[in-house]
Protein backbone atom coordinates (compact mmCIF):
# COMPACT_ATOMS: atom_id res chain seq x y z
CA UNK A 1 0.00 0.00 0.00
CA UNK A 2 1.43 3.38 -1.02
CA UNK A 3 1.34 6.55 1.02
CA UNK A 4 -1.64 8.56 -0.31
CA UNK A 5 -0.77 11.80 -2.07
CA UNK A 6 -2.17 15.05 -0.69
CA UNK A 7 -4.09 16.75 -3.53
CA UNK A 8 -4.54 19.99 -1.59
CA UNK A 9 -0.80 20.34 -0.99
CA UNK A 10 -0.12 19.51 -4.62
CA UNK A 11 -2.59 22.19 -5.75
CA UNK A 12 -0.81 24.80 -3.63
CA UNK A 13 2.55 23.76 -5.02
CA UNK A 14 1.18 23.99 -8.57
CA UNK A 15 0.02 27.57 -7.90
CA UNK A 16 -3.57 26.75 -8.86
CA UNK A 17 -6.40 28.42 -6.92
CA UNK A 18 -8.36 25.77 -4.99
CA UNK A 19 -11.96 26.73 -4.23
CA UNK A 20 -13.78 25.04 -1.37
CA UNK A 21 -16.35 25.56 1.34
CA UNK A 22 -16.82 25.04 5.07
CA UNK A 23 -18.49 21.95 6.56
CA UNK A 24 -20.01 22.46 10.01
CA UNK A 25 -22.88 20.00 10.29
CA UNK A 26 -20.98 16.75 10.79
CA UNK A 27 -23.12 14.96 8.20
CA UNK A 28 -21.60 12.28 5.98
CA UNK A 29 -24.41 12.78 3.46
CA UNK A 30 -23.76 16.52 3.22
CA UNK A 31 -20.01 15.99 2.88
CA UNK A 32 -20.52 13.38 0.18
CA UNK A 33 -22.86 15.64 -1.77
CA UNK A 34 -20.56 18.67 -1.49
CA UNK A 35 -17.59 16.49 -2.37
CA UNK A 36 -19.28 15.56 -5.64
CA UNK A 37 -20.45 19.14 -6.32
CA UNK A 38 -17.09 20.22 -7.69
CA UNK A 39 -15.38 21.87 -4.72
CA UNK A 40 -11.63 21.31 -4.56
CA UNK A 41 -11.63 21.02 -0.77
CA UNK A 42 -13.92 21.01 2.25
CA UNK A 43 -12.90 22.38 5.64
CA UNK A 44 -14.08 20.02 8.37
CA UNK A 45 -14.59 22.42 11.26
CA UNK A 46 -13.72 20.88 14.62
CA UNK A 47 -13.19 24.31 16.19
CA UNK A 48 -16.64 25.89 15.99
CA UNK A 49 -18.71 23.15 14.36
CA UNK A 50 -20.26 20.14 16.06
CA UNK A 51 -17.71 17.70 14.63
CA UNK A 52 -15.82 15.46 17.05
CA UNK A 53 -13.04 12.94 16.37
CA UNK A 54 -15.21 9.87 15.57
CA UNK A 55 -17.25 11.99 13.15
CA UNK A 56 -14.05 13.28 11.56
CA UNK A 57 -12.93 9.72 10.82
CA UNK A 58 -16.23 8.95 9.09
CA UNK A 59 -16.14 12.22 7.15
CA UNK A 60 -12.61 11.44 5.95
CA UNK A 61 -13.75 8.01 4.79
CA UNK A 62 -16.65 9.47 2.83
CA UNK A 63 -14.53 12.21 1.27
CA UNK A 64 -12.05 9.64 0.00
CA UNK A 65 -14.68 8.71 -2.58
CA UNK A 66 -15.12 12.28 -3.86
CA UNK A 67 -12.94 14.79 -5.69
CA UNK A 68 -12.77 17.19 -2.73
CA UNK A 69 -9.72 17.16 -0.46
CA UNK A 70 -10.30 17.34 3.31
CA UNK A 71 -8.84 20.19 5.36
CA UNK A 72 -9.31 19.48 9.06
CA UNK A 73 -9.55 22.58 11.24
CA UNK A 74 -8.57 21.58 14.76
CA UNK A 75 -10.18 22.99 17.90
CA UNK A 76 -6.83 24.34 19.14
CA UNK A 77 -3.07 24.28 18.59
CA UNK A 78 -2.78 21.17 20.75
CA UNK A 79 -0.32 18.27 20.46
CA UNK A 80 -2.86 15.57 21.35
CA UNK A 81 -5.52 16.91 18.97
CA UNK A 82 -3.02 17.06 16.10
CA UNK A 83 -1.73 13.56 16.79
CA UNK A 84 -5.19 12.04 16.83
CA UNK A 85 -6.43 13.58 13.57
CA UNK A 86 -3.20 12.64 11.79
CA UNK A 87 -3.54 9.07 13.04
CA UNK A 88 -7.14 9.19 11.76
CA UNK A 89 -5.87 9.92 8.26
CA UNK A 90 -5.94 13.72 7.96
CA UNK A 91 -3.13 15.06 5.80
CA UNK A 92 -4.02 18.76 5.79
CA UNK A 93 -4.54 20.41 9.16
CA UNK A 94 -5.46 23.99 10.01
CA UNK A 95 -4.49 25.25 13.45
CA UNK A 96 -6.34 28.25 14.91
CA UNK A 97 -5.16 31.38 16.66
CA UNK A 98 -1.43 31.29 15.97
CA UNK A 99 0.00 34.45 17.48
CA UNK A 100 3.76 34.23 16.97
CA UNK A 101 6.65 32.21 15.58
CA UNK A 102 7.02 30.12 18.76
CA UNK A 103 3.43 28.91 18.46
CA UNK A 104 4.03 28.25 14.77
CA UNK A 105 7.10 26.12 15.57
CA UNK A 106 5.08 24.16 18.12
CA UNK A 107 2.32 23.54 15.60
CA UNK A 108 4.75 22.13 13.05
CA UNK A 109 6.49 20.01 15.70
CA UNK A 110 3.16 18.39 16.60
CA UNK A 111 2.91 17.05 13.02
CA UNK A 112 6.44 15.61 12.82
CA UNK A 113 7.90 12.44 14.28
CA UNK A 114 11.15 12.68 16.29
CA UNK A 115 13.76 13.98 15.90
CA UNK A 116 12.10 16.77 13.83
CA UNK A 117 9.06 16.95 16.12
CA UNK A 118 7.09 15.41 18.95
CA UNK A 119 4.33 13.43 17.21
CA UNK A 120 3.67 10.16 19.02
CA UNK A 121 4.74 7.14 16.99
CA UNK A 122 1.98 4.78 15.91
CA UNK A 123 1.64 3.56 12.32
CA UNK A 124 -1.03 0.85 12.72
CA UNK A 125 -3.94 3.28 12.54
CA UNK A 126 -5.82 4.69 9.57
CA UNK A 127 -3.25 7.36 8.76
CA UNK A 128 -0.58 4.70 8.35
CA UNK A 129 -2.82 2.42 6.32
CA UNK A 130 -3.33 0.22 9.38
CA UNK A 131 0.35 -0.65 9.23
CA UNK A 132 0.34 -1.50 5.52
CA UNK A 133 2.18 1.62 4.27
CA UNK A 134 5.90 0.78 4.24
CA UNK A 135 8.05 3.24 6.21
CA UNK A 136 5.06 5.45 6.93
CA UNK A 137 6.77 7.25 9.78
CA UNK A 138 9.76 8.12 7.61
CA UNK A 139 7.68 9.58 4.76
CA UNK A 140 4.44 10.90 6.30
CA UNK A 141 5.64 14.50 6.67
CA UNK A 142 6.17 14.79 2.91
CA UNK A 143 2.42 14.61 2.31
CA UNK A 144 1.32 16.72 5.27
CA UNK A 145 0.10 20.28 4.78
CA UNK A 146 0.21 22.59 7.79
CA UNK A 147 -1.97 25.71 7.64
CA UNK A 148 -1.72 28.32 10.38
CA UNK A 149 -4.54 30.74 11.11
CA UNK A 150 -3.77 34.44 11.56
CA UNK A 151 -6.74 35.89 13.42
CA UNK A 152 -5.61 39.02 15.23
CA UNK A 153 -3.89 42.28 14.41
CA UNK A 154 -1.04 41.22 16.69
CA UNK A 155 -0.49 38.03 14.70
CA UNK A 156 -0.76 39.85 11.37
CA UNK A 157 2.03 42.17 12.47
CA UNK A 158 4.21 39.06 13.00
CA UNK A 159 3.19 37.41 9.74
CA UNK A 160 6.70 37.38 8.26
CA UNK A 161 8.19 35.58 11.28
CA UNK A 162 5.32 33.07 11.41
CA UNK A 163 5.45 32.30 7.69
CA UNK A 164 9.22 31.79 7.83
CA UNK A 165 8.97 28.83 10.23
CA UNK A 166 10.09 25.65 8.40
CA UNK A 167 7.19 23.28 7.80
CA UNK A 168 4.51 25.97 7.51
CA UNK A 169 2.87 25.24 4.17
CA UNK A 170 0.22 27.96 4.12
CA UNK A 171 -1.30 30.84 6.04
CA UNK A 172 -5.02 31.38 6.54
CA UNK A 173 -6.29 34.82 7.51
CA UNK A 174 -9.62 34.80 9.34
CA UNK A 175 -11.64 37.91 8.46
CA UNK A 176 -14.21 37.55 11.25
CA UNK A 177 -11.73 37.27 14.11
CA UNK A 178 -9.40 39.83 12.59
CA UNK A 179 -12.24 42.33 12.38
CA UNK A 180 -13.13 41.64 16.03
CA UNK A 181 -9.52 42.20 17.12
CA UNK A 182 -9.60 45.55 15.31
CA UNK A 183 -12.76 46.68 17.08
CA UNK A 184 -15.15 45.96 14.21
CA UNK A 185 -16.90 42.86 15.52
CA UNK A 186 -19.32 41.53 12.93
CA UNK A 187 -18.05 43.91 10.24
CA UNK A 188 -15.44 42.04 8.22
CA UNK A 189 -16.38 44.25 5.28
CA UNK A 190 -15.29 47.44 7.04
CA UNK A 191 -12.77 49.35 4.86
CA UNK A 192 -10.12 49.23 7.60
CA UNK A 193 -10.47 45.45 7.86
CA UNK A 194 -10.44 45.04 4.09
CA UNK A 195 -7.20 47.04 4.00
CA UNK A 196 -5.55 44.62 6.44
CA UNK A 197 -6.85 41.60 4.53
CA UNK A 198 -5.35 42.97 1.34
CA UNK A 199 -2.08 43.66 3.17
CA UNK A 200 -1.96 40.06 4.43
CA UNK A 201 -2.37 38.69 0.92
CA UNK A 202 0.33 41.00 -0.45
CA UNK A 203 2.75 40.06 2.31
CA UNK A 204 2.23 36.34 1.75
CA UNK A 205 2.81 36.85 -1.97
CA UNK A 206 6.03 38.71 -1.21
CA UNK A 207 7.13 35.90 1.11
CA UNK A 208 6.20 33.20 -1.39
CA UNK A 209 3.77 31.60 1.06
CA UNK A 210 0.30 30.46 -0.13
CA UNK A 211 -2.45 32.24 1.76
CA UNK A 212 -6.13 31.35 2.10
CA UNK A 213 -9.27 33.03 3.37
CA UNK A 214 -13.02 32.48 3.62
CA UNK A 215 -15.48 34.69 1.78
CA UNK A 216 -18.84 34.67 3.52
CA UNK A 217 -20.48 35.67 0.22
CA UNK A 218 -19.56 35.09 -3.39
CA UNK A 219 -18.99 38.83 -3.78
CA UNK A 220 -16.52 38.85 -0.88
CA UNK A 221 -14.78 35.77 -2.29
CA UNK A 222 -14.26 37.46 -5.65
CA UNK A 223 -12.90 40.57 -3.93
CA UNK A 224 -10.48 38.52 -1.83
CA UNK A 225 -9.16 36.74 -4.90
CA UNK A 226 -8.47 40.14 -6.44
CA UNK A 227 -6.29 40.88 -3.39
CA UNK A 228 -4.09 37.93 -4.38
CA UNK A 229 -5.22 35.10 -2.10
CA UNK A 230 -3.97 31.68 -3.20
CA UNK A 231 -6.99 29.63 -2.15
CA UNK A 232 -10.45 30.39 -0.91
CA UNK A 233 -13.42 28.88 0.88
CA UNK A 234 -16.80 30.25 -0.15
CA UNK A 235 -19.52 30.38 2.49
CA UNK A 236 -20.48 27.35 4.64
CA UNK A 237 -22.75 24.37 4.19
CA UNK A 238 -25.43 25.66 6.53
CA UNK A 239 -25.26 29.20 5.13
CA UNK A 240 -25.74 27.98 1.57
CA UNK A 241 -28.60 25.73 2.63
CA UNK A 242 -30.43 28.47 4.53
CA UNK A 243 -29.81 31.09 1.85
CA UNK A 244 -31.20 28.77 -0.84
CA UNK A 245 -34.15 27.89 1.40
CA UNK A 246 -34.96 31.56 2.00
CA UNK A 247 -34.76 32.39 -1.72
CA UNK A 248 -36.94 29.41 -2.63
CA UNK A 249 -39.56 30.27 -0.02
CA UNK A 250 -39.64 33.93 -1.03
CA UNK A 251 -40.12 33.06 -4.71
CA UNK A 252 -42.82 30.46 -4.14
CA UNK A 253 -44.72 32.52 -1.56
CA UNK A 254 -44.68 35.55 -3.85
CA UNK A 255 -46.23 33.43 -6.60
CA UNK A 256 -48.76 31.97 -4.20
CA UNK A 257 -49.87 35.36 -2.82
CA UNK A 258 -53.61 35.95 -3.38
CA UNK A 259 -54.39 38.41 -6.16
CA UNK A 260 -56.82 41.28 -5.77
CA UNK A 261 -59.59 39.30 -7.45
CA UNK A 262 -59.35 36.05 -5.55
CA UNK A 263 -61.77 37.31 -2.94
CA UNK A 264 -64.67 37.10 -5.40
CA UNK A 265 -66.33 33.72 -5.37
CA UNK A 266 -66.86 32.01 -8.70
CA UNK A 267 -70.52 30.86 -8.47
CA UNK A 268 -69.87 28.14 -10.97
CA UNK A 269 -67.45 26.48 -8.62
CA UNK A 270 -69.59 27.01 -5.50
CA UNK A 271 -71.32 23.94 -4.13
CA UNK A 272 -75.07 23.71 -4.87
CA UNK A 273 -77.37 24.04 -1.92
CA UNK A 274 -80.30 21.65 -1.97
CA UNK A 275 -83.58 22.91 -0.45
CA UNK A 276 -86.21 20.60 0.98
CA UNK A 277 -89.71 21.22 -0.45
Per-residue 3-state assignment (H helix, E strand, C coil) for 163-193: HCCCCCCEEEECHHHHHHHCCCCCCCCCHHH
Q: Strands 69-73 and 92-95, how do they pair?
A: parallel
Report d(CA 100, CA 76) in Å as an integer.
15
For the chain, what percentages of helix, strand and coil (3-state, to nearest 5) are there? 45, 15, 40
3-state secondary structure of 250: helix
Our CA dihedral for 30, 35, 40, 42, rounded to 10 degrees, sits at 30
User: Is 23 among the catalytic positions?
Assistant: no
Closest to 109 (Cα-Cα) out of 64, 141, 63 = 141
Q: Strands 92-95 and 170-173, how do they pair?
A: unpaired
Tell me the torsion sign for CA atoms 88, 91, 97, 103: positive
Q: Which of 23, 36, 48, 139 is catalytic?
A: 48
Active site residues: 48
Amino acid sequence: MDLPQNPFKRALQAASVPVGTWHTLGSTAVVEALGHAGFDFLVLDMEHGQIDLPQTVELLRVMAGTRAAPVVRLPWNDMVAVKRVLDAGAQTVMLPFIQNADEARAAVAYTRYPPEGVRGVASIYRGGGYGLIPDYCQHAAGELCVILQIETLEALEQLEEIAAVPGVDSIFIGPADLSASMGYLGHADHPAVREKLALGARECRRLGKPCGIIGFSTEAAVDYLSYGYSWIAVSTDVTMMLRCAAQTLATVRASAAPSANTGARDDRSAPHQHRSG
